[in-house]
Each structure stands twice: as structure tokens, then as C-alpha cells.
Amino acid sequence: MVAPTARRKARVSALDTVILALELLKRIPRGRRVTAAQLHEQLADQGFQRDLRSIQRQLEVLSEHFDIERDDRSKPYGYSWKERSPGLSLPGLTPHESLLLALAQQQLAPLLPSAVSRSMDSYFQAARRNIGTPSEATGQRAREARWLAKVRVVSQTQPLLPPKVSSQVFEAVSDALYRDEWLDIRYQKPRETTARPARIMPLGLCQQGPRLFLVCRFDGYEDHRILALHRIQQAEPSGLNFDRPPDFDLDRYIADGKFGFGEGRYVKLSFRITKSAGEHLLETPLSTDQTVEDLGEHYRITATVVESGHLTWWLRGFGEAVDEVCKTEPDADKGSGVSLKRVT
């Protein structure tokens, strides 16, 4: 007869094995490979203390019972879900949740580099399977499947294809950003033929149109720089962590117009615009303090905005429909407290 203590230990051991298997299945990617050592590190970061050999044994078992490929051409072995495998399905994903994920994929697909969108493939595919197609689905799911054909996001500007970003670079950058770790890179500036080495402190990742940008500090400097991710030719973790600067706030950095090629300087902007060209500014103002004066065939718009290159391009884009442009110092109690519309 098995003692109660032994049975409890057996149940705990079995539960521990199941938990480890589920955590590994969640972390096995599609379209790229991950090693046992990388999974061991990911689990350790989440508080799962398992030795490397246990993870290796579990991966061998999983690759025999699931649609998981093991690349054993060289060591360390790499693991990934097979191309057409459903992977680890999302339990409890409702039709509405599936619809939201499918809509998100529609908007993100033309914007994100393939290396980025691949990391969400298993979720997007699970959502698509839940919804089905209009010809296959019935009832509520049929309505949701048809809804996908009724909703689109239209760009305000000429659509552009995203530049190519190395999957290795993106993974190294996002991992260093997550860990607050110094990153060693080789960066190629525009119109230069060679990439230069640098050590950077990654602080934020931003998407502007179809491009991804990394906000960072260079080692030995206090100012912040913006690097286009597709111009990073190589990125390697340094293994050295840093203390995140307490004075840096990504939202504030963006609001200060740094991505509009500005330095965060606020101005009181005033200009005259024809009614046909400026009608939308009555519905989508430039800032919370915007005022509009009706001049007959024109409006005079006054608002506190961040002075930047994007602002200049935006005004020039109206051509002869805009004139009498004037920029002055903002009121003393305005500026940083004003909510601004993003100029595109």
C-alpha cells in the first residue's frame, strides 16, 4: 500500500511536470527556433526554477507528442512549431475576442516587419480558426466573419511598405529593452556605406508609420537619440544591466515632438486657412486651447503646438490654402499642460 505522503509527492511531481510542459509549449515560437538554454532563461525570469537538463528532457518528450520540430543539425538544438500546426490553442477565446484579434491583425500586418508579426502568429491563427470564413461559419460567428470584410483602416498619407528588420536584431533589441541591458550594435547611418559599432542603453521602442524606432542613450552620453531599427545591422546583448534613468518618460518624450524632429519647444501658432481645407480642424483640433475665428471664406486657427519639422511639412502640404503663418512664444501658463493633436 502506498503511503499518503508518497501519493502527495507523486501528485506534486506530476503537477510540476504538467506546469513545466505548458510553460514550454507557450514559449516555443513559430517561424524561428529557440534553444533549451533560451527557454531555461525565460522561465527563470518568470520565477520558474528548473535545471537545464530537465528542460532538455521535457522538450524531447514534447517534440514526440506535439507538432514541434527539433533542428538537430547542430548543437544546441532548436525547437519550433511546425508551419501549419495550430500550436498551443488559446482556451476560452470568445468570438468577440477572436474578432478583436483579427481586426488588430488587419491593421498591423502592413505596418509591422515580418519578424514582429510572426511572434503573434499563433494568436492570430487561433482567432481566425475561431471565427472561420463567411461561407463556413454559422449564426453569431457568421456575422463576425462578415464583419471583417466591412472594416478597414485607411492611411492619411501615401502608404509605404515597412523596411526589412533583421529578426535577430529585433529579438536582441526587445530582449535588452525588457531586461534593461546594455546593447552592443553596429549602426549604419543614411548615405553611409559602413556600419559603426556602439554600445547603447535602450529606453523605448516606437512605431511611426511603417517604421520602428529605438529611443536610446549612447554609452558615455546623457542625451537621448532615435535610431531606425532597420539601420541596425547587428545587435548583441552585452550581459551588463543598467539603472533606467528616473527622469526619462517615453510619453513625455513623444509629446515634446522629438519624433517630429523638434526639441520640445512650444509655440503659439496662428495661420489662415481656406474653409474647404481647414474644415476638419473644427472636428479634430490641433490642441485643447485651439481657437477658430470665422473670416468669411477662411478660418484663422490659433493653437499651442510643438515646433518641429513635421509641423512645417504639414503646413506646407496645404499649399496656397494656408497663409499668414505666425509663430510666437506661448502664454506663460500654457505649453506643457496643453494636450496636442499629432500632426501627420
Structural domains of the chain in order of their starting residue, each with its CATH number: 13-81 (1.10.10.10), 95-147 (no CATH), 167-248 (2.30.30), 252-328 (3.30.70)
Closest CA to 131 of 106, 94, 104: 94
What was the pLDDT predicted at 344?
A: 45
Q: How many of the other CB atoms lie within 10 Å of CB of 179?
A: 16
Residue type, 96: H
Question: Any long-range contacts for 55-61 (C-beta under 8 Å, 24+ apart)?
Answer: 55/20, 55/24, 58/17, 58/20, 58/21, 58/24, 59/24, 61/21
Q: How far is CA 186 from the centre of its chain?
A: 22
Closest CA to 79 of 122, 33, 118: 33
pLDDT-based confidence at residue 12 (cuts at 50, 70, 90): very low
CA 164 – CA 171 distance, rounded (Å): 14
What was the pLDDT predicted at 11?
A: 45
Q: If you average pLDDT over each of 66-80, 136-150, 236-250, which comes out highest?
A: 236-250
115 has a pLDDT exceeding 60: no
CA atoms within 13 A on the CB side of 108: 19
pLDDT: which is higher, 320 or 88: 320
29-38, 159-168, 258-267: least confidently modelled range: 258-267
CA 107 – CA 101 distance, rounded (Å): 10
What was the pLDDT predicted at 144?
A: 67
pLDDT-based confidence at residue 34 (cuts at 50, 70, 90): confident
pLDDT-based confidence at residue 2 (cuts at 50, 70, 90): very low
pLDDT: which is higher, 117 or 56: 56
Instruction: Kindly report, residue by residue over 178-222, the tens digit of the pLDDT.
Output: 889 999 999 999 888 899 999 999 999 888 777 889 999 999 999
CA 121 – CA 254 distance, rounded (Å): 29
Q: What is the pTM of this model?
A: 0.58
Closest CA to 103 of 84, 131, 122: 131
Instruction: Kindly report, residue by residue over 121-167, the tens digit of the pLDDT.
Output: 667 777 777 776 666 656 656 666 677 777 776 767 767 778 888 88
3-state secondary structure of 242: coil
